[in-house]
Amino acid sequence: MAEWNISFAGCGFRSIYYVGALSCILERVPQLVHGASKIGGASSGCLVAAALAVGIPIGELLNHPIFFLICEQVLYFTFSLILREMLPEDAHLRATGKLCVSLTRLSDGENVLVSEFTTREELIQVLMCSSFFPVYCGFVPPSYRGVLYMDGALSNNMPLFELRNTITMAPFSGESDICPKEGTFNFFEANYEQKLAEICHNGYMDALRFLKERGAHTHLHVPQH
C-alpha cells in the first residue's frame, strides 16, 4: 500500500479542532494515524503533530489548555515548561524522520522544514520557533541552531501538502481534506469553554464525514491528491 502523510495547519486556539478529528479517526480507523509515514504541522498545528509523532495520547492535550492559547504572550513563555513536562526523554528520537515542522526564517522570511532532531531540547526549540507569532508572543523571536525563526504558518501553513497522499486538516473552511464545510464562527459570540467544546465537536463530525465519503469507516483507505 502507498505511503501517506498527515498535515495540520496552524490555527491558534482552534487547534482543539484536531483533538475532535483525531478522536474520531482513532476510534474508527486508528491505522490511518498510526501508519502515517510523516506527520507535519505549522504553528499550533505542529504541537498536535508532535504529540502524535512521539506517542502522547491525543486526549492528554486537553489537560494542558496552554496548547490552545500559546498566542498570548504570557502563556507563550511558560509553554516550554509544558513541553518539558509532556515530552518523553527520547522524544527527539521518536520524532526524527516522522515529524515535520514548518518554520519561517526571520532574516528573509523563507520557509524551513525540520524533521531531524539531535536532542530533546532541540525538538523543544523547533516547536517554540514554529509557534512564535510576532507581537502576540513577544518581540524577541526564539532561535534554533543559532538562527532566529518565527511562526511557520507565515511561510508554509500546510507542510507536506505538495506530497502525494497527504491528509490535510484545518479548522477553517477550504480545500483541506478534513475541515468545516461552512465558514468559521465568531469566537466572541459564546463563552470560552462552550466555544472550545463546539470546535472540538465540529472536528469530530468533519472527520467522520471524511471517513464516510472515502469509505474508510470500515477499512483503511488513503485519499490521493
Q: Active-site residue numbers?
A: 43, 151
- Cβ 217 vs Cβ 28: under 8 Å: yes
Strands 99-105 and 111-114: antiparallel
Which residue in 44, 51, 87, 46 sits closest to 67, CA to CA? 44
Biggest CA-to-CA distance, the chain: 49
What's the angle, vertex CA 127, arms to CA 14 and CA 111, rounded to 5?
90
What's the angle, vertex CA 50, arms to CA 120 and CA 107, rounded to 5?
75
Cell of 159: 507542510
The continuous run of DSSP H or E covering 42 comes out as strand 38-42
CA-to-CA dists, residue 218 to 31, 83, 166, 202, angstroms = 12, 35, 20, 21
